Amino acid sequence: MSIFGVVRLTIQPRANPDGPPRLSLPDPPVSPVRQSSPPGLVINLIEPLSGLEVIGEIDRTTRTAWQEALAAVASRGEDVHLYLAELGFIDVRGTWLITDTAGTLPAGKRMFLHHPPRILKTVLTLIGSGSLPVVVESP
């Protein structure tokens, strides 16, 4: 069983035609673990960056998968990269999980939010993430 529970794993970065080019990485082997995602959410593991690409919506029905995926990449003790260009919606609790996870990173490590939706940036400001190691990429 995957440490990600019901999250589908993809170990290969996808091309992003709408944003800056992704880092050119060697083609790692694709994980043999493929499980169905919760409806409305796909989380792709991006190696070797300790990153996640999020596609869809994070709400009460997908929150457990989101929490498990965040915990898994944060447990590596490295900077965490979240690619959020295809995130359609994230509720306040899902946003809080980002800040909570960032707070567990080792000293000097940060969580980078790439292409976050505007509402996510607004909610982060409202809940006071300024003292946490969260770097929000501005377009």
In a domain, 22, yes or no: no
In a domain, 127, yes or no: yes
- Reported confidence tier of residue 130, pLDDT bands at 50, 70, 90: confident
In a domain, 28, yes or no: no
Strand partners, 41: 56
In a domain, 76, yes or no: yes
Torsion of CA 119, 139, 81, 86, to 10 degrees: 60
Query: What pLDDT digit, counting tens, does each position of 10-34 carry?
Result: 333 334 444 444 433 334 333 333 3
Query: What pLDDT digit, counting tens, does each position of 28-84 carry?
Result: 333 333 334 567 899 999 887 789 999 999 999 999 999 999 999 999 999 999 999
The domain tally of the chain equals 1
Domain that residue 60 falls in? 41-136
In a domain, 10, yes or no: no
In a domain, 8, yes or no: no
Mean pLDDT, residues 111-126: 90
CATH number, domain at 71?
Answer: 3.30.750.24
